[in-house]
Amino acid sequence: MEKKTKYVPFGVCDYEYMESWLEDMAAKGFRLVSMSLCFAIFEKTDAQNLRYRIIPQPAGKTGDEETGFYEACGWDFVAASRGLSVFCSSDPDAEELFTDYRSYSQRTRSFMIWCIIGVAAFAYLGWSNFDNYRELMTECGGILHLINEVGLIYFISFWMIGILAICLSITIAVRYGMLAARLKRGIHRVKLPFRIRYRMNKVAAAAVCICVVALSVGEFSGHVILGKTTYPGLSDNHPLSLEKLDGPFYNKVNTALEDEEWPEDIDCCAEQYSNGLFSVVKEAYASIEPSESSTLTETDEYRYFYAIYYEARSKRIAKKFMEEELQQNGDYEGARIEEFRDEYSGVDQGYLIFDQDGYQHLLVRSGNRMETVTYYGEADIESRADEVIADVLH
């Protein structure tokens, strides 16, 4: 016998819409056989005028004794899914499964309460992690920095889940209120026009699927490392290389890396990638701690170098990101900020930041391009500002 599988675009609170949909499918010659979380299976039969009733069941399935009572009243059990039990009858005069307002209201209220408890539990988990989320955003330096760190898909998914929980809570409250009002008036069932809700839910489901797939593809392709060098001296033009800023420090790093044994206190890398916010991101990092080795001695001072070059998807993103970068670096205790812009043609934002610990920060933006450099060492980063600016404008 021919069978047909259909997606069920109705939520657990829309069972009256679902009843109308199942009755419409029966009129087209498709009788419900089984139902899962998202799909319903129909078998091809002659067109029939069937009545469907869906009963919310917190336990997931109606008990045998209760099912037997319904069958005696002319209702056959069809399927159970999503905490709902589906019954069907070909008798237009079959008595309603629930005729007593209090009994049906209690059953429905119990189901709604379980739904609300589930949403409340999820909301509590989200709220309990809010401090961690806020701390992470603070550490990253702002909303765009957070997205750049944790990934666009995770950030959007977080908000989508939150909005979904709120919408579900509102839907549960509204649906229960409408049902309670009808039951008080003695109206047990209303054949709701399901087609508008059906189309809206299908469009919403398709939009969510497209969004998730698009974000996943974009996030995956954006975080694949396009190229990686062994140490900062091999970075090509962007960002400002360590060799240009501090030649002696670069030579020490270069020599140490060429040794057979890499000192544990040397750390450096350079890589290039992209993500949802930036079409190009290149970064270089190097640090040295004083140690006993053939190239580094205890008399060598701690050195640190970090440079990163961004080419944002738009000027608006670049401007906002630079503002967050400025705020993040300006939060250092005792930081002194010097702004420059008019001194260089083509520079939209430029800042020199010096903190009391001796770290020097240089931030430059031109259009949708940015470069930031953090340095701790003997070189004067202010005297090398021309090279960074030329780097960004290149």
User: Per-residue DSSP letters for 47-58?
Assistant: ----EEEEEE-T
- Note if the pTM is more than 0.75: no
| Comparison of pLDDT for 89 and 342, the residue scoring more | 89
Give start and end residues of each alpha helix (H) in 262-341: 315-330
Confidence label for 377 from pLDDT (cuts 50, 70 and 90): confident
Q: How far apart are CA 238 and CA 47, in angstroms?
A: 70
* 245-267: average pLDDT: 75
8 A C-beta contact, residue 215 and residue 158? no
Portion of the chain with pLDDT greater than 70, in percent: 75
Q: How far apart are CA 348 and CA 393, in angstroms?
A: 11
Query: What does the pLDDT read at residue 215?
Result: 63
* Three-state DSSP state, 355: coil
Exposed, middle or buried, 287 (CB in 10 Å: 0-12/13-18/19+)? middle
Residues 6+ apart with CB under 8 A from 40: 5, 6, 8, 22, 32, 34, 79
The rounded mean pLDDT for the chain is 77
Q: What is the pLDDT of residues 156-192, one digit of tens each?
A: 776 777 777 777 777 777 777 777 677 677 666 667 7
Confidence label for 27 from pLDDT (cuts 50, 70 and 90): very high
Residue 371 has pLDDT above 80, yes or no: yes
Query: What does the pLDDT read at residue 139?
Result: 62
Structure tokens at 96: 């309603």
Residue 230 has pLDDT above 50, yes or no: no
Q: How far apart are CA 12 and CA 183, in angstroms?
A: 19
